[in-house]
A and B are shown apart, each in its own frame.
Chain A
């Protein structure tokens, strides 16, 4: 336990760790001190002056973001001096601000709006020409900058200096001509640039992929996990009417602090752009779901002939629960199994993992260790009769190494190919049965990240068309194949997963919570 001090904030006795700044000590005690430039994961700049508070015995108001708590300190956050100072700062921040809220993307989540309501005076005494700046400045691949809205809090500059460590941004010029800018010939194009938009407290930095798409108050927020790589950054999914509009990072000090990479942030875009498979297919023709399930069950069960040799290719993008049922399918059919890798680039020092799937560790926990290539090679060599593939991206021409090529060869060779597919574009024409699978955002379950942390992914949309979750598809096939009644709810399947994977014992489905839970003894093994 760190050393603590006792201080008084607004007549309340508060105990806080030594070296904590007043603004944090107050926040933990439920006392809100307004601020713009302060950010708990960045260095202290102290430039906005919004958090000025009165500290007894100090000769003048002090900024709560930089003053550390001391024993016996007495702080007033609501005295007349403090309220006047805040109103003064609010007025000054707005004199050159365009007040273009009706066309500003930040509306609804803007600190200027919120604090104007809480701490502003309602009117301005400024009657002169405002200082004008450039609009729609193209700062980088994803970022647009509005000079006039900027309040020069320098959070974005500090982010690029301290977190992404790429240093593209700086303050330029002086006085009220001060602006944020990039160095000549450079652009704000680092792998984490979208975070500058999140931390911009006003509408100065906006994301090209989200701006003008929706008012934020129309969007429903769901706490979930980014599916873009093995880090499993905690995110909030913002959706409306079965469509995802954006991901924003959600704080988890153990996983991603409050950041996420641009690639993960935009990983929902293919969900919108790619054409969904909305109905089951048999030999390329749309059919009823029941017929497709029957056919799959028959092929796997080998009705009327000797048991087929089954090969299963699991997906590290499926949830732990999906994979638990797939494991049962493997057992029921005595299948040989494998798992593909979707890797690109290199791990970096911050968040990005080269494993571009969210649940490889979960798949391994359930015994999916063998490389998919081995199963596919067997299939391509005619040693497998029925190939059951959980993720049609296996067939992607872009799939890494030989896997895509092997998969396409295997598809041509096997007697029957059964595929769970969410999109139309990569389904091989040879597939005997294609079962329409729900996409990210339509299902709930558990991912285990590369560090062995189980995290909960949640649904924020209804399933499209006649698509079903992997769980529903697998349990329907099991039922038709006569393997018994399998659980379909993730929380029930979790118990089955526990039976299959010892490290999960003692951890309930709900224990995963919003912050995740470490699975003991399970880390990345290679």
Chain B
């Protein structure tokens, strides 16, 4: 295991304080950006680092920053998306609670790079500790002239607005989040137009995940070449992996992008939680990503390799299931979540999610027919790619992959008229 970079401060006493953060080079990246570099230079530096967005899509961050038009007469906004809600994902929370200044420094640098005078930090409502830590960090930074008017004596000023969500998963979708900030229902918007052109309050907007912005100070402090050395080709930098499920030591682990999934499970997380039980399945990137069978799961955990294996790195929420996990029941659990969180705006997701719940529940309860198994895949297909926002895909992908990869379990439920693993764990 390599030395942690992103989590270097985590677990240290007073890690959330400005003093502690500065003692290990904190805000040096910001100082370099503001005193030595133009905003365009900062964008270029982040491009060179190869940093890809850690929210799930893996889009190159510097390229995304470059999309914000420089000639707009409207204000530009920088948003940090801290509405971390994907089941199996709990990394952003750790950063905000224990290293809030890293997040804050990243937001300031990003705002400087796109020319934003106002930034928004949208924190999941349930994250009370994150909110408190970030609010305290903002106060400290303001007093130290790292935020507010004339940052570090320069001509650059930035105001940060803290915004707490009210408990909807869909507000983590970038345009749903913007609607929420604007005081409306969290309904994702039609795209195009994209936020870079028409975002928050109709203005050019750049939105980035917490972990993404936490990488930015490192790049500015130590340089893009240093950063690009970490990880593997086209997948650079350190990454936080969230291990949960049937492992001995669930938690957040840092490793360079491209770490072996089996290393995460068997080394970092200590392997299966109970002696003698074998790995059955892994969801590699949060509950919305396609499940992998155990025999497919010895892969590199970077964006491209996981995609090649038929799933997605997503938010790197690794959910591990051993032999006692019923795949029908597990799917039902996932589907219930998305049916509950569907915003209800567009037909396929609004109507389809709960239909899937009803079908899979009847299979789990032993009332399913064999035609129902195909129906799950087919209804999921009628949602996949046909909705306004990715929530539709987020429900369709697990539904399709669970049925395709564990079809025998679904058939067994139908044949036995019940769940053979009920009460096995």
Chain A positions near chain B (C-beta within 8 angstroms): 44, 46-50, 52, 60-61, 63, 66, 84-85, 88-89, 91-93, 95-96, 125-126, 128, 131, 151-152, 170-171, 173-178
CB distance from B45 to the nearest CB of A (A): 31
Which residues of chain B are within 8 angstroms of A89 by Cβ–Cβ distance? Answer: 347-348, 382, 386
* Residue in A closest to B381 when the chains form the complex, CB atoms: A88
Which residues of chain A are within 8 angstroms of B381 by Cβ–Cβ distance? Answer: 88
Assess whether B339 is interfacial by the CB under 8 Å rule: yes
Those 3 A-B pairs whose CB atoms lie nearest each other, nearest first:
A178-B344, A88-B382, A92-B351
Which residues of chain B are within 8 angstroms of A49 by Cβ–Cβ distance? Answer: 346-348, 386-387
Are the CB atoms of A176 and B339 closer together than 8 Å?
A: yes
Residue B382 contacts which of A85, A131, A171 (CB distance < 8 angstroms)? A85
Contact code string B343-359 (vs A, CB < 8 Å = 1, else 0) = 11111101111110011
Residue A60 contacts which of B347, B352, B385, B388 (CB distance < 8 angstroms)? B385
Are the CB atoms of B355 and A95 closer together than 8 Å?
A: yes
Assess whether B168 is interfacial by the CB under 8 Å rule: yes
CB distance from B381 to the nearest CB of A (A): 8
Residue B354 contacts which of A52, A63, A66, A175 (CB distance < 8 angstroms)? A175
By the criterion of a CB under 8 Å from any partner CB, how many residues of chain B are at the interface?
A: 30
Which residues of chain B are within 8 angstroms of A50 by Cβ–Cβ distance? Answer: 347
Are the CB atoms of B347 and A151 closer together than 8 Å?
A: yes
Q: How distant is the Cα of A140 from the Cα of B417 in the complex, in angstroms?
A: 50
Which residues of chain A are within 8 angstroms of B355 by Cβ–Cβ distance? Answer: 92, 95, 126, 128
* Residue in A closest to B168 when the chains form the complex, CB atoms: A174
Which residues of chain A are within 8 angstroms of B187 by Cβ–Cβ distance? Answer: 171
Are the CB atoms of A152 and B358 closer together than 8 Å?
A: no
Which residues of chain A are within 8 angstroms of B359 by Cβ–Cβ distance? Answer: 128
CB distance from A426 to the nearest CB of B (A): 52
Further contacts, 10 of them, CB under 8 A, given A174-B343, A175-B344: A46-B388, A52-B386, A60-B386, A85-B386, A89-B382, A95-B355, A152-B350, A171-B344, A174-B168, A178-B345
Are the CB atoms of B358 and A128 closer together than 8 Å?
A: yes
Are the CB atoms of A47 and B358 closer together than 8 Å?
A: no
Q: How distant is the Cα of A33 from the Cα of B388 in the complex, in angstroms?
A: 18
CB distance from A371 to the nearest CB of B (A): 51
Which residues of chain B are within 8 angstroms of A178 by Cβ–Cβ distance? Answer: 343-345, 350
Are the CB atoms of B350 and A175 closer together than 8 Å?
A: yes
Q: How distant is the Cα of A195 from the Cα of B352 in the complex, in angstroms?
A: 30
CB distance from A7 to the nearest CB of B (A): 17
Which residues of chain A are within 8 angstroms of B375 by Cβ–Cβ distance? Answer: 125
Are the CB atoms of A92 and B342 closer together than 8 Å?
A: no
CB distance from A356 to the nearest CB of B (A): 39
Answer whether A61 and B347 are a contact pair too, CB < 8 Å, given A131-B354, A176-B339: no
Q: How distant is the Cα of A61 from the Cα of B358 in the complex, in angstroms?
A: 27
Contact code string B321-353 (vs A, CB < 8 Å = 1, else 0) = 000000000000000000111111111101111
Which residues of chain B are within 8 angstroms of A66 by Cβ–Cβ distance? Answer: 190
Which residues of chain A are within 8 angstroms of B351 by Cβ–Cβ distance? Answer: 92-93, 95-96, 176
Q: How distant is the Cα of A175 from the Cα of B347 in the complex, in angstroms?
A: 10
Answer whether A171 and B348 are a contact pair too, CB < 8 Å, given A49-B386, A126-B355: no
**9 pairs of residues in contact across A and B, judged by CB atoms under 8 Å:** A49-B387, A63-B190, A85-B386, A88-B381, A89-B382, A95-B355, A126-B355, A174-B343, A175-B342
Q: How distant is the Cα of A85 from the Cα of B386 in the complex, in angstroms?
A: 8
